[in-house]
Structure 1
Amino acid sequence: MANSPQAKKRARQADRRFAVNKARRSRIRTYLRKVEEAIAAGDQAVAAAALKEAQPELMRGVSKGILHKNTVARKMSRLSARVKSLG
């Protein structure tokens, strides 16, 4: 347990950051799930639109430090290949 004022403040800040990051991660997962569902349905137009919406969210996750840029690059590459193969 934090005892010093500085440690207590850091604990409060960590809790706030955790909540914000958790919300961002959840939002990113939602966009990815929409793409996955469109791919599973076999609708290339909807999947491409969902992927186009998901890309800025993923990039925002990189800039905010939620995800590593190579992780996002890998996810985008694999998703776009799967969407392309639907056609």
Structure 2
Amino acid sequence: MANSAQARKRARQANKHYQHNTAQRSNFRTFLKKVVKAIVIGNKEQAQAAYKAAVPVIDKMVSKGLIHKNKAARHKSRLNSRIFSMQTS
């Protein structure tokens, strides 16, 4: 347990940041799941719309420092290639 006032404050801040980051990470994963779900269903238009909504969220996670820029690029690239390879229906 933290003994000094400074250590107690840092512990409070760490917990607050942890909760905020966890919520943001969950939101990030939700947007990815929406794109994947549309791909699995086979609805290309819905998948493209979900992808366009997910890209700003992914980029925001990078700017906030929650994920690495290479991880964001990897997710965007893989989702986009899966959408591109879908059959137009």
TM-score (normalizing by structure 1): 0.97
Q: Does 1:84 align with 2:79?
A: no
2:28 & 2:75 partners in 1: Cα distance?
12
How many residues get paired? 87
Distance in 2 (alpha carbons) for counterparts of 1:29 and 1:3 = 37
Greater per-residue helix proportion = 1
Uncovered stretches (5+) of structure 1, i.e. residues with no partner: none
Answering whether residue 45 of structure 2 is matched by residue 53 of structure 1, we say no
Residues 27-83 of structure 1: per-residue CA shift (max 9 Å, x gap): 111100000100000111110110000000000000111110000001100000000
The runs of 5 or more residues in structure 2 that have no matched partner are none
> Percent sequence identity over matched residues?
51
Find the aligned partners of 2:84 and 2:73 in 1 and give their Cα distance: 16
Give the CA deviation at 1:84.
0.4
The alignment partner of 1:37 has SS state of helix
Query: Which secondary structure state, in structure 2, belongs to the residue aligned with residue 46 of structure 1?
Result: helix
Matches of 2:84 and 2:45, distance apart in 1: 10
TM-score with structure 2 length normalisation? 0.95
Q: Which runs of 4+ in 1 moved over 3 A?
A: none
Aligned to 2:73: 73
